Structure 1
Amino acid sequence: MAFCSTQYASGVACICFVAVLWTFATVLKQLIFSDLNYNEPLVLTYVCNACYAVHFPLHGLLRMTKVVSPIPWRRAEAEGSVKNGEVREAMRGGLIIAPLWFAAQWTYSAGVASTSVTASTVISTTSVVWTLLASILFLKEKVTVVKVLGIICCMAGNAATLLGSDKPDQKGQFSGDLLCIVAAMLYAAYTTVLSRIVQPDFSMAILFGVIGVAILVIGAPLVFSLKQEALRRMTPEIFGLLIFNGIFDNVLSQFCWAKAVQWTSPTTATVGLSLTIPLSILADLVRQKHLTPWTYLAALLVLSGFVAVTLASRPRAAESSALREDCEITGSQNI
């Protein structure tokens, strides 16, 4: 799929913004699990992902205040009727993606609770490999030498991160790492399905709104039956942090993530996960923590890999010229 250069640049900007949000979100999860002694990944996943339902009232408010334009599929057709088929497609897509996304979030949160932050961050970035394989098999994404070398650099950076990190506590380490690996595979499946379903003018508000409502309604019996004691232990402070995490780590970051998938490619967007590693290193520098030469090597490799895949996936000049007229018509994306 070809994209205009403006859309692609916007997609790369979304990737960088999401990487910043996810870096802070991982620290916040550790705060909730460890410092506040609320090690309940299922409850965290349910509350945070149910926050997606806020897309419906938010989009309605923005429409009422004329901050955004009507979504593309509500344009009247030649005979004056309103095209609603794509609204149903957005709702169907949300219902398909909801279980994949919930499972990925649940397994990753459980993994973060059982392993180290470094290990969970490194393992999560391996989803780029699974995403590339899925994109080649199901989306027919073109493979280039530069793209493959970029992915190899990212994976080498991940390995260097593990070599340079302190040895983590082994208790529960294996199960935590295994859960993070499963989460990486589920992220790849989610990203590939998302790319297959959405189109450049697809409304992310409806898609994620449906995901939030589905998790809120369908997940309620699961959470209330399995975690009654955990719900009773929830303090207003913990609930506030869960909502804060849900709004920023889920609602805002995933909206930008979906736009990145729309405007770039699944592989390019997933490689952006690796940017959390150098961002974590930067945070450690600010906090004056000891860093090893392996850590700096990891940051260099990951950044090199991200740049390589980004450049290899950018739209060609000829393709951008051919689509310039379409991009001018649909370039102002609707939320």
Structure 2
Amino acid sequence: MPSPAPPAPKSPKRTNATIALARAPRACSGAALGYFFIALVCVIWIAASFLVARLEAHGLSPVLLSFICGSGFIILVPLRLGTIARGCAAMVESARGARAGQRDARRGAGRANADDEAERGHSSSARAGAAKKRTPGEGHANAVELVPLATAGGEGETRDAERGKANETAASRAKRRGEAGMYSFEYHLKAAFVVAPIWVMAQLAFDYSLLMTTVTANSMLSSSSAVFTFVVSVYMGLDKFSWMKVAAIVAYVIGTVLVTLADRDPRGVNFDEASAEDMANNALGQNIQSPALGNVLALAAAGLYALYTATMKLYLKDDDKTDMTLFFALMGIFNFVGYGAVLIVTRALNGLPNLFFAFTERVFWLACAKAFFDNVLSDYLWARAVLLTSPTVASIGLSLQIPLAATVEVFIGQPAWASHFQNAALMASGTLFVIAGFLGVA
């Protein structure tokens, strides 16, 4: 983007006023807009959870599913193709300019050394001549003769300085503009590079935990993500500690535990039964009975999810300066290239033998639909909600999907928790605790 021409004297005041007026509605509705995004994410996650349960019940590999979903962000690349191309070109130009600057610095240092040696030699000759015969005229002439040597050195330094200024690239200019306006391309690239592997590890840990433990245990342990998010956010200085927030988080965790205890059916909703072959050959090619490892993975997923949320907020602090589409497009490129390379190497070493088990054309398109809605769209809205509110508020805000999911279960069929009064009471009590926890941090 070319730098704007210098404005007239009164122009900056009008420009700043116009920008402030344009941003006023967005700033006033920032938190409200964040809550709206959280509600949309809840709806999307509830719908996607049914799809994921169906896909994994029939043996789709969590590794392959997470690769498809992580690479799904790459569909955003065409929307920012020009920005990515210009940013990469600016980075190449910056690298060339840096190398040219280093060469010029070495040449300048060499010329300076040569000038110093010549000056020392000339001074020695002048002193030797003066020892033989010194006159006022010769002394004056010698002094005059030294001036061009010093001037030559000064001109060399001036040329080096001018050449150094000429080596200033579009990348450095864009970086300076990013400090006053939008974050630069390099900054978005760095943020995506750091966040992408955390996102992938969180997804893998969560998906594999579902294969090794019950949904009830997974839900209970996943609720600890709010605790991890609050601790990490306070440690990074992204959120302020208060006992009100601690009480709200405790209420949220209690509510989540009550809700999961109310659901006696491990799957919650009765899908069509998976075939015997599907049950005998799941994503790892065997029936996994490792609840302890599954619980550890669920807890690890909660911690990684909190780290992902806090790290994104740490790099992208201002929603007005962040191009979220560019950020996720770059993250999609990193996921596709990095994750894809790992899968190729693993397959070449005869690893993941059942990677493509139960992978049909229909499953592929369902996984793509899940990637678009549950990852690309919902993660975009979720990231905007984190920037507009705070990591802790956004994490606990997602608890609204609990009463929403209960409502959906009532409408689509007879939920397991509604068959007994005790379970229904646990569900109602848990929902109240969850809502109280959200209101406590909102």
TM superposition score category, shorter chain reference: 0.7 to 0.9
Residues 43 and 227, structure 1, Cα contact 8 Å, conserved in 2: no
Cα 1:273–1:263 shift into 2, 3 Å: same
Look up the match of 2:66. Answer: 45
Look up the match of 2:54. Answer: 31
Look up the match of 1:178. Answer: 296
Letter in 2 for 1:126: S
Secondary structure of 2:239's partner? coil
Q: Shift of residue 284 of structure 1? A: 2.0
Cα 1:155–1:32 shift into 2, 3 Å: same
Asked if residue 290 in structure 1 is aligned to residue 313 in structure 2, the reply is no
Cα 1:20–1:231 shift into 2, 3 Å: same
Residues 131 and 189, structure 1, Cα contact 8 Å, conserved in 2: yes
Cα 1:171–1:5 shift into 2, 3 Å: farther
Residues 121 and 276, structure 1, Cα contact 8 Å, conserved in 2: no
Secondary structure of 1:45's partner? helix
Q: Shift of residue 227 of structure 1? A: 3.6
Residue segments in structure 1 that go unaligned for 5+ positions in a row? 62-80, 311-335
Letter in 2 for 1:43: L
Look up the match of 1:84. Answer: 174
User: Structure 2 length normalisation: TM-score?
Assistant: 0.61
Choose which of 331, 337, 343 in structure 2 pairs with 1:217.
337
Look up the match of 2:438. Answer: 306
Choose which of 267, 277, 281 in structure 1 pairs with 2:406.
281
Q: Shift of residue 237 of structure 1? A: 0.7
Deviates further, 274-283 or 235-244: 274-283
Residue segments in structure 2 that go unaligned for 5+ positions in a row? 1-25, 83-169, 176-183, 268-287, 418-422
Aligned length: 291
Choose which of 22, 37, 50 in structure 2 pairs with 1:14.
37
Q: Could you say what the CA RMSD is over the residues aligned between the two structures, in angstroms?
A: 2.6
Look up the match of 1:205. Answer: 325
Distance 1:22 1:87 in 2: 30
Distance 1:118 1:18 in 2: 21
Choose which of 115, 118, 122 in structure 1 pairs with 2:220.
122
Distance 2:440 2:357 in 1: 49
Asked if residue 136 in structure 1 is aligned to residue 237 in structure 2, the reply is no
Query: Deviations along 1:93-114, whole A, 9 cap, x unmatched?
Result: 1010010000001111111233
Residues 264 and 416, structure 2, Cα contact 8 Å, conserved in 1: no
Distance 2:76 2:314 in 1: 22
Look up the match of 1:162. Answer: 260
Distance 1:197 1:290 in 2: 43
Cα 1:234–1:274 shift into 2, 3 Å: same
Secondary structure of 2:416's partner? coil
Q: Shift of residue 140 of structure 1? A: 5.0
Look up the match of 2:22. Answer: none
Residues 59 and 357, structure 2, Cα contact 8 Å, conserved in 1: no
Cα 1:113–1:182 shift into 2, 3 Å: same
Residues 39 and 113, structure 1, Cα contact 8 Å, conserved in 2: no
Distance 1:116 1:130 in 2: 22
Choose which of 170, 182, 207 in structure 2 pairs with 1:109.
207
Letter in 2 for 1:149: A
Q: Shift of residue 129 of structure 1? A: 0.3
Look up the match of 2:359. Answer: 234
Look up the match of 1:265. Answer: 390
Q: Shift of residue 233 of structure 1? A: 4.5
Distance 1:296 1:60 in 2: 49
Query: Deviations along 1:234-254, whole A, 9 cap, x unmatched?
Result: 100110111000000100000
Asked if residue 193 in structure 1 is aligned to residue 311 in structure 2, the reply is yes
Distance 1:129 1:38 in 2: 32
Percent identity reads: 27
Cα 1:140–1:45 shift into 2, 3 Å: closer
Distance 1:228 1:46 in 2: 16
Distance 2:369 2:353 in 1: 22
